[in-house]
Structure 1
Amino acid sequence: MSAKRPCIGVVALGRPTFDVPFAEEILAKAWGSLESLNADLIGKPELLFDADAVLGALPALKAQKLDMLLLLQVTFTDATMTVELGKEIDAPLVMWSFPEARTGGRLRLNSFCGVNLASHALSRNDLSIDYIHADADSPKAIEDIALLARAGAIVNELHGAKLKLVGEHPDGFDACNFNEQELQRRFGIDVDRIGISDFINQVKALPDDVADAPYERRKAQFPNLGELDQEATRKTLKVYSKLRTEADEKGYKGIAVRCWPDFFVEYGCAACGALALLNEDHTPAGCEADMMGVVTSLTLQQASGGSVFNTDLVDVNIEDDSIVFWHCGQAPIDMADTDQTIQGTIHSNRKMPLLSEFALKPGRITMARFSQGHGKLRLLLAGAEMIKAPLAFSGTAGTARPDIPVKDFLDRMINEGLEHHTALTYGEHRPIMRAIAKRLGIEVVELT
């Protein structure tokens, strides 16, 4: 699931009592800047001076599924047209106002005051905006508009997504519980369910040769694959084949699986290796039936454009300000430190394959979780640096330093009731995640 090219509705508002030639010059420059965006622009580079003109622009705007409605407040106007647009167009509203020189003479645009007037009027109608106040040729303005448009596109793509849930979360794992009605209401996501035993029986019924292609894929990456229990290894790869086929045929954008104890005791293999392959395919997969972990991973994947690892924080060292992220063996292989060993392995407790084993590569990371701590849905965010370090524990693990002292980081995450699973991706992606949360009406909590 990759975010589509955003679709931005653009309306330019003005009033003829201000300096219209200057306003048209500003609009032309702003429109030229907008054309540099990797986005589809719906609208025309012309000033709309009255309600009739705005009403005339509505059909073209309403004919598209907009990811953002951008109002260019080129001159001051009253709020009538803006409120009408806010009510009529189902899209996040962003307003762009333009500074002007303090000459001691005429106020030629009075642009920002128009935004101020409109934001108040919109608030009285339960509508909110993002705003940008910058020159018409400002690269930073275009960067901000691009980010907000991408956030809108991601939220629109989440709406209507289908996820797969295999089994139920283990007893006592409240962190993996979720409210299906809230998931549908807030994200527009639907969940298809299957019992864990029913799913395992479906895998058992598959011909053994469905494991052949993923076996060859892993053989090229894990030099020790032939040394592992071959029957159990191929069972893991049959699980992957089943999940991959279902995702492709039924359009599942992510999958949460109850991994233990069922796969070990009912089928004789680890599910971890199957989930790792799905994560590498950019179909986020999580263990312990953690549906909100998969939702977070899917969103973070869209925001980053890269792979995501749903992981535990398992060790801390307050003295050297380091922490260890780990999970049995499901990190995507493009996160591996290629200077160290990359191989297949067995589950550390159950002693069955197939799992991935490698240390995570150094680099900037973003940590995120749509959390249900304290009985409300929030987005918890943190930034950290993954450092070059030996593999801390068997499976896939990385050593990181948060942006604040570890003791402060731990205090915050424990006090906020953060789940034991968090999603990690490489790069700094908190700004886009904050924008997505705002679009979803979800509070953001900063852990660093």
Structure 2
Amino acid sequence: MIGYLALARETFDVEFAESKFSNAKSLLLSLSPSAIGFNELITNDEDASKALTFFKSNPCDKIFLFQTTFTDAKFLLNFAQEINKPICIVSFPEPRTGGRLRLNSICGLNLGMHSLIKNSITPEFVIMESDEKVNESSFLGFISGTAEVDQLSWKEATISNNHADFDYTIDKQTIGIIGTRPEGFDTCDYDSNEVTSKLNVSLIDLELEDLFDEAKEVEADTILKTKSTVSSYLQGTEDLVQEEFDKSLSIYHGLESLKDKHNLDAFAIRCWPETFTEYGCASCGPMAMMNEKKVSCACEADVLGGISCNILNQMNDSPSLLVDIVDVDKADNSLVFWHCGLAPISMAKKGTAKSGIHSNRRKPLLHDFSLKEGEITIFRVSKARNTLQFFIMKGKVIDRPNSFSGTSGVISLGENSPQKLEEMFKGGLEHHVAFTYGDISDQLIHFGQQMNIPTYTL
């Protein structure tokens, strides 16, 4: 017996998610008419409990899990452990309209794969395509058990120029952790002893209230001056709700204050939901402004993500950015790197930078632009498969319009970019990767050798 269920988060476009679920379910039932499932989108703990009860009462041999939007991995991991049957996660690309990221399904797949693989569960997955025959073949491969199981293709990274002079040093760094990672974000886990002993990084724990308290003390004149500066390089700031805009700028100055007070080099910040729900603004713009100053700010209290960006900053003396991979297009041989709006202004494609509000939470300040064209180095200090390692790739930002509101870039990884994306997911890579402009891959590999940390690429 084949089973099915679908996950969603209500802050995304639930109506669109329902349509994706309906179409995928119809395809499944055309191939396996006896398939049974939980027919409501699972958006909360109550739904999750009902779904788990359903499948315990109706045992299935294999289960399709439709990842219709981004969600955390809490239910997915618990479900996989409780049911203990083969799972195929199905995710959904979406049109690159330049508007709201309506689903962010592929990022949900990425996060879920990392969590399951870290817990010794290896699911199959399908990224839906426009060609229904391809989708049909992918579904049948899981149903019949004939899908090819590839060996992990990550390989040890080697320096391409062995005669290069790696003239750089990275001093001991200090990361400020503001708040704790959201529940179900196993991608943001870290081992504090490992971080301090193997990565030469000190950690200072702070609370969100510490940031809010600092922000509340910022003088009105200071905010006014910063507002004038920001409005000089971002279009449309006059259209924002000014009280919320001011609050967002006060967060920026609050981060500056905490940096100076604790002598910090970078941050990992629990950026949502509390900055929206308790303080009343988005933290994306302020974090982008700090990123421009080469003070990395990682979302979702992702400590290893923040360290990844900080290493790039130190090594390249240029801003870096932590992004989600949110779309893939096989016909175009491209991916999309995106985040809500925290790319530093120097990464903007000329003439595209404007201010924005968060697509789900509807508050400012966000940067809203397409990333400029250029060669990039992609990097992650990773705990894929529960092992501390470096992951490195070269890529290129293609000259394209903004794919989704916020800050995004269309990315080529060279030949067969979609296959490389799938190999990243199969290896359990986290849902955040860092990048910087230019090719510093040899320097990173050399750094991994210095630090005695296994370093991989594709």
TM > 0.5 between the two? yes
Query: What is the CA-CA distance between 1:404 and the residue it aligns to?
Result: 3.3
Q: Which residue of 2 aligns with 1:432?
A: 443
Does the alignment pair 1:414 with 2:407?
no
2:248 aligned to which of 223, 232, 236 = 236
TM-score, normalised to structure 2's length? 0.63
Partner Cα distance (2:384, 2:400) in 1: 32
The change in CA–CA distance for 1:256 and 1:209 in structure 2 (over 3 A counts) is farther
Partner Cα distance (2:203, 2:225) in 1: 28
Query: What is the CA-CA distance between 1:208 and the residue it aligns to?
Result: 3.2
Does the alignment pair 1:396 with 2:397?
no
Partner Cα distance (1:251, 1:204) in 2: 20
| Kept in 2: contact 1:256–1:290 (CA 8 A) | yes
Query: What is the CA-CA distance between 1:247 and the residue it aligns to?
Result: 1.5
SS state at 1:192 partner? strand
Does the alignment pair 1:341 with 2:352?
yes
| Kept in 1: contact 2:212–2:254 (CA 8 A) | no
2:327 aligned to which of 289, 295, 315 = 315
Report 1:365-404 matches (<5 A).
365-404=376-415
Cα-Cα RMSD: 1.9
Q: Which residue of 2 aligns with 1:219?
A: 231
Query: What is the CA-CA distance between 1:251 and the residue it aligns to?
Result: 1.9
Partner Cα distance (1:191, 1:404) in 2: 39
| Kept in 2: contact 1:200–1:266 (CA 8 A) | no
Query: What is the CA-CA distance between 1:415 and the residue it aligns to?
Result: 1.7
Partner Cα distance (2:311, 2:434) in 1: 10
SS state at 2:423 partner? helix
Partner Cα distance (1:341, 1:301) in 2: 24
Amino acid at match of 1:341: T
Q: Which residue of 1 aligns with 2:222?
A: 210
TM-score, normalised to structure 1's length? 0.65
Partner Cα distance (2:219, 2:432) in 1: 34
Partner Cα distance (2:221, 2:197) in 1: 41
| Kept in 1: contact 2:284–2:342 (CA 8 A) | yes
Partner Cα distance (2:402, 2:409) in 1: 7
Partner Cα distance (2:395, 2:284) in 1: 25
The number of residue pairs the alignment matches comes to 301
Amino acid at match of 2:305: G
| Kept in 1: contact 2:324–2:339 (CA 8 A) | yes
| 1:15-55 Cα shifts (integer Å, max 9, x gaps) | xxxxxxxxxxxxxxxxxxxxxxxxxxxxxxxxxxxxxxxxx
Q: Which residue of 1 aligns with 2:197?
A: 185
Q: Which residue of 2 aligns with 1:163?
A: 175
Unmatched 5+ stretches in structure 2 = 1-157
Report 1:124-203 matches (<5 A).
144=164, 146-147=165-166, 149-150=167-168, 153-154=169-170, 157=171, 159=172, 161-203=173-215
Partner Cα distance (2:380, 2:208) in 1: 25
| Kept in 1: contact 2:214–2:258 (CA 8 A) | no
Partner Cα distance (1:311, 1:341) in 2: 19
Does the alignment pair 1:286 with 2:286?
no
The alignment-based identity, stated in percent, is 32
Does the alignment pair 1:258 with 2:270?
yes
The runs of 4+ residues in structure 1 deviating greater than 3 Å are 205-210
Partner Cα distance (2:414, 2:317) in 1: 23
| Kept in 2: contact 1:208–1:238 (CA 8 A) | no
Partner Cα distance (1:243, 1:397) in 2: 24
Partner Cα distance (2:411, 2:418) in 1: 14
Does the alignment pair 1:352 with 2:377?
no
Partner Cα distance (1:217, 1:201) in 2: 24
| Kept in 2: contact 1:268–1:352 (CA 8 A) | yes
Unmatched 5+ stretches in structure 1 = 1-129, 132-139
Query: What is the CA-CA distance between 1:245 and the residue it aligns to?
Result: 2.3
| Kept in 1: contact 2:211–2:258 (CA 8 A) | no
Partner Cα distance (2:225, 2:453) in 1: 42
Q: Which residue of 2 aligns with 1:445?
A: 456
Query: What is the CA-CA distance between 1:305 and the residue it aligns to?
Result: 1.9
1:271 aligned to which of 259, 263, 283 = 283
Query: What is the CA-CA distance between 1:346 and the residue it aligns to?
Result: 0.2
| 1:243-277 Cα shifts (integer Å, max 9, x gaps) | 11221343211011101100000011000011000
Partner Cα distance (1:237, 1:172) in 2: 29
Query: What is the CA-CA distance between 1:224 and the residue it aligns to?
Result: 1.2
Query: What is the CA-CA distance between 1:310 and the residue it aligns to?
Result: 0.6
1:363 aligned to which of 353, 369, 374 = 374
The change in CA–CA distance for 1:213 and 1:248 in structure 2 (over 3 A counts) is farther
Partner Cα distance (1:402, 1:325) in 2: 12
Q: Which residue of 2 aligns with 1:245?
A: 257
Q: Which residue of 2 aligns with 1:331?
A: 343
Q: Greater CA deviation, 344-353 or 284-293? A: 284-293
Partner Cα distance (2:218, 2:319) in 1: 29
Q: Which has the larger radius of gyration?
A: 1
Partner Cα distance (2:430, 2:225) in 1: 36
The structure, 1 or 2, with the larger RCO (C-alpha pairs under 8 Å, 6+ apart) is 2
| Kept in 2: contact 1:167–1:193 (CA 8 A) | yes
Q: Which residue of 2 aligns with 1:299?
A: 311
Query: What is the CA-CA distance between 1:319 and the residue it aligns to?
Result: 1.4
Partner Cα distance (1:223, 1:444) in 2: 41
Partner Cα distance (1:167, 1:369) in 2: 22
The change in CA–CA distance for 1:444 and 1:351 in structure 2 (over 3 A counts) is same
| 1:187-244 Cα shifts (integer Å, max 9, x gaps) | 2211111122343234224433332332122011013111111111111110100111
Partner Cα distance (1:328, 1:252) in 2: 24
| Kept in 1: contact 2:378–2:393 (CA 8 A) | yes
Q: Which residue of 2 aligns with 1:55?
A: none
